[in-house]
Amino acid sequence: MSAHAEAAHHEHHGPPAAHQSSRVDARVLGMFLFIASEAMLFGSFFTAYFFVRVVNPGAPTEWPPEPYHFPVFVAGVNTAILVTSSFTMHWALQSIKRGQRTAFLAGMILTFVMGFAFLLTQVVEYLNVGFNTGDGAFASVFFGLTGLHGAHVAVGLTLLGIVIVRGFRGHYSPEHHHGVELPGIYWHFVDVMWIVVYSAVYLI
């Protein structure tokens, strides 16, 4: 063994470095796997929701069952708000990749404000919808499904808040932006899932 190889052998301690794909960052892959598990969680709630719809005596023409009514217009406006927040999140990520810190912070703040507006509007809807979780299986699955999504929005807002605080402290750069990208992926998932929830609950 040469002196160089022997020196390298003595300098290395512990197991060899784990193999990583050159195409997908391990942190991004981990987020995608987490989102896959969350999608399965939502799938179980959708299963319960559609089961209640199928066994409803008036299904499928009478939905929601009398005397319940959905605020479809308000939910539609809320959907537009959340979808727009995906565009501002994408703008923020692309801005920090280009080193445009002011645009990055503006995009993050706009995303947070729209996400908070969505959650606040959903709370107001709950207070004025005219029924609660104890009013039969229909009400239970409605609050269960929309509430599950609302909880994910709250988690997303927490992540966005952390990104904003760290952003003002100068923690991100074009070379180090995974702390923005990962919450962004999660936020896009929350937005897409709401489109599915809105379509299934309020429109179909």
If you write DSSP's letter for every residue of 32-81 in order, what string do you get? HHHHHHHHHHHHHHHHHHHHHHHHSTTTTTS-SPTT----HHHHHHHHHH
pLDDT of residue 160: 96
Note the pLDDT of residue 190: 95
**Between vectors from CA 27 to CA 152 and to CA 158, what angle results, nearest 5°?**
30
What amino acid occupies position 113?
A: V
The CATH label, of 1.10.287.3510, 2.120.10.30, 1.20.120.80, 1.10.3720.10, for the domain at 31-203 is 1.20.120.80
pLDDT at residue 195 in the model: 94
187 in Cβ contact with 156 (< 8 Å): yes
Point out the residues of the chain with pLDDT beneath 50: 7
pLDDT in tens, 30-59: 888 889 999 999 999 999 888 887 776 655
The amino acid present at 71, given as its one-letter code, is: P
Give the pLDDT score at 29.
85
**Domain coordinates in residue numbering, the chain:** 31-203
Measure the CA dihedral 102/189/84/122, to 10°.
-110
pLDDT tens for each residue of 164-184? 999 999 888 888 888 899 999
